[in-house]
Structure 1
Amino acid sequence: MASAIPLTRADMKRLADYAKREGVKAEVQIDDFIFRVSADHPPAKVDGSEESELDRELMEFDRKHGYR
């Protein structure tokens, strides 16, 4: 028979709130029970001007070396 979870719902919510607020992964291990939570991280935004600069440099390189 499975034993009861050693954390209360309130404990798990506090840990999840902490992980989200701090932007970290948190883990609690009690005997064989492990509770892990991770913050949701939005995808990193790419600066469009930086990407354009890299594209321009690549096109210049390609032209210089006869690729286009």
Structure 2
Amino acid sequence: MPASIPLKLSEMKRLAAFAKREGVRAEVEFNGFIFRVAPDHSLAKNDGSEESELDRELAEFDRKHGYS
């Protein structure tokens, strides 16, 4: 089982916001583990009633790694 990375949820969200704002993919590497975020280039509109894919992925990451 890989060790958890020392990356806080707030840092992940900040990185995701940067990637979305600048339209680039951002990466952070810790001991061979790479955390990547990229802007969503799909044309589908998010009406706010459903979490975005990134929100779901972050929530899953939090559950998996014990963040609250």
User: Which band: TM-score by shorter chain?
Assistant: 0.5 to 0.7
1:7-57 Cα distance to aligned partner (Å, 9 max, x none): 1111100000000011111111111111000011245xxxxxxxxxxxxxx
Q: Distance in 2 between matches of 1:29 and 1:38?
A: 15
* 1:39 alignment partner in structure 2: 39
Structure 2 residues not aligned, in runs of 5+: 44-68
Identity across the alignment (%) = 58
Structure 1 residues not aligned, in runs of 5+: 44-68
Q: Aligned pair count?
A: 43
TM-score by length of 2: 0.54
Does structure 1 retain, via aligned residues, the 8 Å contact 2:24–2:39? yes
* 2:4 alignment partner in structure 1: 4
TM-score by length of 1: 0.54
Question: 1 or 2, which has the higher helix percentage?
Answer: 1
